[in-house]
Structure formats: structure tokens, C-alpha cells
Structure 1
Amino acid sequence: MIKRWNPEGVAPPIGRYSHLARVPAGHEYLIISGQVGTSPNGELAGPDAESQTRAALTNIENLLKAAGAELKHLVKLFAMLSSTDRLAGYRKALQEALTRWYPNEDWPTHSLIVVAALATPELAVEVEATAAIPAH
């Protein structure tokens, strides 16, 4: 079982994430490339960060399933936004997903950066993920 926690001696997280995650021996890592806000047919979910974040997180859910993993196996999310103007939309969609994914608030670790641009100008957000799956 992946252990996630926030130890004393460090300020509490400023969002819905854990400071630490420990993966026990006997797990295989699953690395998910940056997911953007597109539907399975490749169309952009919308022009805003909120709709693109929802789609990117759905893509991560689907990739986990395809690899035989579950949301409980997520260790880290790493998000890149193309502007600080996109923060509110990203945070709203992320909060919705984390509330649904982790009702007990056992959130994975998370980092967020704002970059000058993503791969194409219409992209608002890109989210990478790391998971750890018990080895067979």
C-alpha cells in the first residue's frame, strides 16, 4: 500500500496534495506522459483550463485503467499551465477530481508550474502522472 502523509515540522500543504508518498518494495512504476485536454477523438475539450483539465484527468484515469492500475496507485501529479490566468480553472477541475477520486483525502503528491507556452498555443494545461502498481 502506498503511504501518503504530511509530517510535522513542515507547513501543511497549500492545496489538496500530500507532501510525501512512500512506495513499498514490490511495486512497478507507471509513468504517464503529459496529458492535454483532448477527447479520445483528439478534439480539444474547450478553450479554457477548466474543461481541458477535466479532459486531461479523464485521460489519466483511462490510461491507468488500460495499464491495470487504479486511482489509489497514483503517486504524483505534475501540472503545467500556460498562464497564471489559467490557475482558477485548473484548481476547480482538479479539486472536483480529487474529491471524487479520494473521498478520504489521501491525495497523491502534486507539483504545479506556469510555463511560457505548451506544445501548441490552444493548450491551457498539461498533466503528467506517476503511479506505482503492485508487481505480479
Structure 2
Amino acid sequence: MIQRWSPETVAAPIGPYSHLVRVPADHELVVVSGQIGVLPDGDLAGPDAGSQTRAVLANLERLLEAAGAGPEHLVKIFSMLSGTEHLDGFRAAMRETFTRWYPEAGWPAQSLIVVAALARPELVVEVEALVAVPRR
């Protein structure tokens, strides 16, 4: 079982993440490339961070399923936003999804950076992930 925790010897996390995640030996790490806010048909989900983040997380959920995993197998999420003006929409969409995925907390490790731009001007969110998939 993947172990997630935040020791009391450091300040509490400032968001929905755990400081530490331990992956047991009977799992293999799967790396998810940066996902952008497009729908399955390739159309952009919307111009705002909320719409794009919801699409990113829906895509991530489909990728997890394809790898034989679920949100409970996420080890780390690394998010990039193309400006601080997108923080509120991103955080709201993450909170909605994490409430569904992790009703009792136990969140994956997470990092967030704000960058000057992403690969295309219309993209405002990109998310990478590490997944610990149980070996079959």
C-alpha cells in the first residue's frame, strides 16, 4: 500500500498534498507526460484555468485507468500555470477533483509553479504525474 504522510517535524502543507510518499516494492513507477486541458477529441476545454484543469484531471483519470491504476496510485503531481491569474481557477478545480478522489485526505505529493508561458498561448495549465502501479 502506498503510504502518504506529513511529519509533525515540519510545517503542515499549505495545500492538498502530503510531504512524503513511500512506494512499496511490489509497485512499478509509471511516468505521465504533461497533460493539457483538451477534450478527448483534441478541442481545448475552455479558455480558463478551471475548465482546462478539469479536462487535465479527467485525462489523467483515463490514463491511470489505461495503466491499471486509479487516483489512489498517484505518487506526485507537478503542475504548471501560465500566470498567477490562473491560480484561483486551478485550485478550485483541483479541490473539486481531490474531494472526490481523496474523501479522507491522504493526498499525493504535489508541486506547483507559475511559468511565463506553456507550449501554446491558449494553454494555461499543464500537469505531469508519477504513478505507482501494483505489479501483476
Measured against the shorter chain, the TM-score band is over 0.9
Counterparts of 1:96 and 1:48, CA distance in 2: 16
* Residue 135 of structure 1, CA deviation: 1.1
Describe how 1:1-136 pairs up with structure 2 within 5 A. Answer: 1-136=1-136
| Displacement of 1:71 | 1.1
* Deviations, residues 14-65 of structure 1 (Å, cap 9, x unaligned): 0011000000112111110010000000000000000000000000000000
Gaps of 5+ in 1: none
Over aligned residue pairs, what C-alpha RMSD do you find? 0.5
Instruction: Give TM-score scaled by structure 1 length.
Output: 0.98
DSSP 3-state at the match of 1:123: coil
SS of residue paired to 2:40? coil
**Residue-pair matches, total:** 136
CA deviations on 1:93-120 (whole Å, 9 max, x unpaired) are: 0000000000010100100000010000
TM-score after normalising by structure 2: 0.98
Query: How far is 1:91 from its partner?
Result: 0.2
Secondary structure, counterpart of 1:96 in structure 2: helix
> Post-superposition shift, 1:67?
1.0
SS at match of 1:133: strand
Ranges in structure 2 where 5+ consecutive residues have no aligned partner: none
Q: Among all aligned residue pairs of Structure 1 and Structure 2, give the percentage whose two residues are the same amino acid.
A: 64
Q: Which amino acid aligns with 1:59?
A: N
**Cα distance in 1 for residues equivalent to 2:23 and 2:98:** 20
CA distance in 1, matches of 2:92, 2:70: 22
